[in-house]
Amino acid sequence: MTKDTLFLWLFRVFALNQRRDYVLKPLGVTTAFLAMYSAVMLLILRQPLASLPGLVLTAGLVQLPFTALAFTMLTYMNRMQIHLAELAMTDVLTGLPNRRAFVAQAGRAQAGGHAGFMLIIDADHFKRINDTYGHAVGDRCLQAIAKRLNDVRRPEDLIGRIGGEEFGAYLPYCTMQEIDQLGKKLCNAILINLPDLPVPLRLTMSVGAAETRPDEMIEAALSRADEALYAAKAGGRARLIVWTRSAALDVA
């Protein structure tokens, strides 16, 4: 048994993750310990049956603090492990899945036969915003984009920040009509109020979209969506373009 396997087994036995675990797991571990202790006393050490209740009571009282300590420590370690795993898969600034988590989630959905559309969303003139107003304002813009994505997404859609000012969205079972509607919502300008400006900062986004296919890797759809995004940037920005085999189709 490897070290990782041992810890997974300990977490499974001792970590208290659900409300019922606080009763069932301590009861089960204590019962198993006392049963083994009783068997040792009777079969190996040949203790008289009449003395067994007192021995079991003493053993139970002795092991109680050690059992409580084991449950407490391993529950804490398990929660820390889960928290660190979530941090490793989450973009801290926006709270969205990072590129690694987003690609993994979209890949699992596509592998399950959930064909749809892959989108790459990019903030227009983001470097200019950072250079003019500073990185703090740039961070507010990224958070505003994340909020816009959360506001327009369907419950089944997957979204994430895939790097810099680029965001990804995977839309299973999505039609061209729905892409058209989503494109209009995404490409509408976001107004960000800044205390030093008399008028709000106007932030727009360009979006590239590509249809996914169940028989390919999700990275292939990302690559096609990136081509469509490049076409959206070249075509004037603040628009959504869908990749096709013949030509990029300007939708919004």
In the block, which residue shows the tokens 């296919």? 213
CA–CA dist 163, 34 (Å, integer): 55
Among 86, 156, 165, 166, the one annotated catalytic? 165
In the block, which residue shows the tokens 């008399």? 198
Using the Cα atoms of residue 228, residue 232, residue 238 and residue 242 in order, give the sign of their dihedral: negative
CA–CA dist 224, 228 (Å, integer): 6
Which of 138-142's residues contact partners 24+ apart within 8 Å by CB, and which partners? 138/165, 139/93, 140/192, 141/165, 141/190, 141/192, 141/201, 141/203, 142/93, 142/94
Q: Is 165 a catalytic residue?
A: yes
CA–CA dist 43, 38 (Å, integer): 8
Q: Which residues contact 17 (CB under 8 A, 6 or more apart)?
A: 75, 78
Give the residue numbers annotated as catalytic, written as ranges. Answer: 165
